[in-house]
Amino acid sequence: MENQPAPATDVEIDFKALVAALRQRLPQLIVFIGLVAVGTYALLAQLAPVYKSETTLIIQSGETSLTAPTQTAADTTTSLDQQAITSQVQIIRSRDLALAVARKLDLIHKSEFDPKANPSVVTRLLRMIGLAKPDTTVATEDRVLDAYFDKLSVYAVDNSRVIGIDFSSTDPQLAADVANAIANEYLSRQKAARRDTTADAAQWLSDQIVDLRNKVQAAEAKVEQYRSEHDLFDTSSSGSTGGGTTLTQQQLTDLNTELTKVRTDRADAQAKASQIRLALQSNSVPNVTDVLNSQLIQNLVAQEVALRSQIAQLNATLLPQHPKMRELNAQLAGLDDQIAAEAGKILDSLEGEAKLAQARESEIQQSLSGLKQTAATANDASVELRALEREAAADRDLLESYLGRYREALAREQGNDLPADARVISRAAVSTAPDFPKKIPMTTAATFAALILAIAFILLKELASGRPMRRVTFAGMAPAAPGVAEADGHARWADDHSIRRMMPKEPTLVPEMVDRVEESLKQITHRIIESGAKRILVTLADGSDSDGRPLGAVALARSLARTDARVVLVDFRGDGADAASMGEGTDLPGFGDLFDGDASFAQVIFRDRKSRVHFIPAGRKPLTRDLVDDERLETVLSALTLTYDYVLLDSSDEMIRVVGPQCGVAMVVSEFGAGDPRTASAFDRVGDVSDAEVMLLVVDPAASRSQDAEAAEGAAA
């Protein structure tokens, strides 16, 4: 026992002493809180009440299908996005609008907005004797506007086109008047802006109309001049629109019509002459209209019919050679000759008409040939003429459009029918209850804050006095089970779940430190602190002897605790060795119960009876595969990492692959040499799953082991 290190000491807070101190000062707290409450209420009662009134506007188009311009009558709504609503809020908060409202309501002469306008009697006397100068650093309007904006609140209601205007004042009537005046001034300015915009548009349209009229006149004059120069006169009734018939085209049409008529007349005359000729050759009266319609031929035919009738009558009583008969036959022959002669005259007339028609046809053909050449030349000029006409028509249409818009703008300007793009949906009313101060809520809040500060002051004063602090003494680092006598060295966990043999004093890092147990653990602790790692993995090499395993994790946790660090040891082995060494038994709730929800952190975290180390046993429920693979395991370990400076994980081989990747340092405890395959296998298990720095602690299980020469070997990798 004489080789054991000196007991370690620590200081902790006695919470019972703090509670007793608070209880002792409870009457003083009550008096202090009462004074604060009464004083706060009295102070608030001395403040002038402030009243608030609110006016709400909705931003929407004021146009209707009856008042909107013709060009926009189909869409009278105004598309306003959130940026547009925010812009309207800034317009309402503009300085010009505020100055107009202040002048309209004469806010400059109200002491609430300009306290310096009515200085105190002392200030006036000092100014009279020259000891105080008038405040000219800030203009009166600027002071009034500063107070105005302090009392004004303009905001846009979320997800709507509604804007709220709040104004506060010590005078409830004034608060309502200002809020309503702001809304009215905003609407007036909106209408004035639209009126000015309409007037500017009308003036612009007027200027454009004058220019367009000149352009239209010039374009139409150019069209007529070009038409005259190229003989492209329009003979249609549609006028100079580019869609009529030119003079050349009309002449071509007339000549074609006349040519057709002449050809028809010539063919008709030739046909009639041919029929008459054939009839004369057959000694018959031609059955032609021109012959039959001749009055002379009709008379001759009537005489012939009468003679033939007379001859037929006399033929019954007289012989053909009778003088009477011969006379009548001679008369009949004369009539036939006369008819033939008249028909011949008609034939000559028709043949003359045919020749005349043929001559006329030749003349028309010549005229057509000349006009066709002229028309071919005129077509090129017509293309240019149509282009000029289109340009003139476009200018004319634009002029008519501008004239219509100008008349509408002029009518709207003169008719004063320019609605604003907003309307008031709720006017401010005179408030009957003050908005500030809220005496009861503010008194309660001040009283509660004073109570918290008073309690904190008492606790800090007690802690500074040192009375609630107590010193705790910790035993050495060698773990021992209840009822086991202390022995030199470190205890071992036996297979029968009892601590009945002690680890020898030779655990070390390097061969030169074989006889320096405490120094070896200090070196390991110092290395862990330098690395900055928060999670430390502790595992054993394969093949521990039949007496059990060394409690290296317990020894390392107690060594870290001596540096005033907060340390917690989590047992992932489940054999109860750590709990038996550090606590009061092995049947304790632990990590398995915490994970299944059967216990809380407070129920599974225990204090080491030999040091300030906290430990969490494996628990009554085993660590199943579901627990190992569940992501909630990392959540629990992260919570411990945030609470403690170091989290030691006494891990079995199965748990290394789960908790190893998040560990910054690992320590392998081996009862064999550094070059032993079993030690190397433990290194490989850690290195396969983690990039942590691995430290090796080699311990000698008994003095009679054949590997005594290797027992002191250790290395840090």
Which pLDDT score is estimated for 637?
Answer: 87
Which pLDDT score is estimated for 489?
Answer: 35
Which pLDDT score is estimated for 180?
Answer: 93
> pLDDT (tens digit, 9 = 90+) per residue, 320-348?
777 877 877 777 777 777 777 777 777 77
Q: How confident is the model at residue 496 (pLDDT cuts 50, 70, 90)?
A: very low
User: For residue 489, is it left (φ>0), alpha (ψ between -120 and 50) or beta?
Assistant: left
In this structure, are residues 168 and 435 in contact, taking their beta carbons and an 8 Å threshold? Answer: yes
Q: How confident is the model at residue 377 (pLDDT cuts 50, 70, 90)?
A: low
In this structure, are residues 475 and 610 in contact, taking their beta carbons and an 8 Å threshold? Answer: yes
User: How far from chain centre, in Å, is Cα 488?
Assistant: 74
Which pLDDT score is estimated for 289?
Answer: 66
> pLDDT (tens digit, 9 = 90+) per residue, 256-284?
888 888 888 888 878 877 777 777 777 66
Which pLDDT score is estimated for 90?
Answer: 92
Verify cis geometry, omega within 30 degrees of 0, for the bond prior to 49.
no
Which has the higher per-residue pLDDT, 540 or 414? 540
User: Is pLDDT at 625 greater than 50 in this prediction?
Assistant: yes
Which pLDDT score is estimated for 73?
Answer: 42
Arithmetic mean of pLDDT, 627-634: 70
Which pLDDT score is estimated for 508?
Answer: 33
Cα 157 from Cα 168, distance rounded (Å): 19
SS3 category, 644: coil
Q: How many residues does the chain have?
A: 717
Q: How confident is the model at residue 646 (pLDDT cuts 50, 70, 90)?
A: very high
Q: Which structure tokens are listed for 247?
A: 């003079």
Which pLDDT score is estimated for 418?
Answer: 64
Arithmetic mean of pLDDT, 375-402: 80
Partner residues linked to 472 by β-bridges: 10
Which pLDDT score is estimated for 488?
Answer: 35
Residue 472 identity (one-letter amino acid): V
User: What does the DSSP 8-state code read for residue 649?
Assistant: E
Over pLDDT 90: what percentage of the chain? 11
Cα 670 from Cα 549, distance rounded (Å): 10
For residue 120, count CB atoms less than 10 angstroms from its CB and return exposed for 0-12, middle for 13-18, buried for 19 or more: exposed
User: How far from chain centre, in Å, is Cα 625?
Assistant: 47
pTM (2 d.p.): 0.42
Partner residues linked to 716 by β-bridges: 695
SS3 category, 414: helix
Arithmetic mean of pLDDT, 224-241: 64
User: Is pLDDT at 452 greater than 90 in this prediction?
Assistant: yes
Q: How confident is the model at residue 678 (pLDDT cuts 50, 70, 90)?
A: confident
Which pLDDT score is estimated for 336?
Answer: 72
Q: How confident is the model at residue 167 (pLDDT cuts 50, 70, 90)?
A: very high
Q: How confident is the model at residue 708 (pLDDT cuts 50, 70, 90)?
A: very low
**16 φ/ψ angles, rounded to the nearest 5 degrees:** -60, -35
Starting at the edge strand found earlier in the chain, the sheet holding 549-550 runs 501-503, 490-493, 549-550
User: Is pLDDT at 176 greater than 80 in this prediction?
Assistant: yes
Cα 552 from Cα 491, distance rounded (Å): 9
Which pLDDT score is estimated for 486?
Answer: 34
Which pLDDT score is estimated for 570?
Answer: 92
Arithmetic mean of pLDDT, 33-43: 89
Cα 63 from Cα 234, distance rounded (Å): 48
Arithmetic mean of pLDDT, 77-104: 84
Residues 6+ apart with CB under 8 A from 195: 413, 416, 418
User: What does the DSSP 8-state code read for residue 117?
Assistant: G
Written in H, E and C, the secondary structure of 280-344 is: HHCCCCCCCHHHHCCHHHHHHHHHHHHHHHHHHHHCCCCCCCCHHHHHHHHHHHHHHHHHHHHHH
Residues 6+ apart with CB under 8 A from 266: 353, 354, 357, 358, 361
User: Is pLDDT at 9 greater than 80 in this prediction?
Assistant: no
Which has the higher per-residue pLDDT, 507 or 337? 337
In this structure, are residues 581 and 553 in contact, taking their beta carbons and an 8 Å threshold? Answer: no
Q: How confident is the model at residue 566 (pLDDT cuts 50, 70, 90)?
A: very high
Mean pLDDT of the chain: 75
Which pLDDT score is estimated for 627?
Answer: 59
For residue 383, count CB atoms less than 10 angstroms from its CB and return exposed for 0-12, middle for 13-18, buried for 19 or more: exposed
Cα 191 from Cα 207, distance rounded (Å): 24
User: Is pLDDT at 378 greater than 80 in this prediction?
Assistant: no
In this structure, are residues 636 and 595 in contact, taking their beta carbons and an 8 Å threshold? Answer: yes
Token pair 């020898």 in the structure block, residue = 504
User: Is pLDDT at 473 greater than 70 in this prediction?
Assistant: no
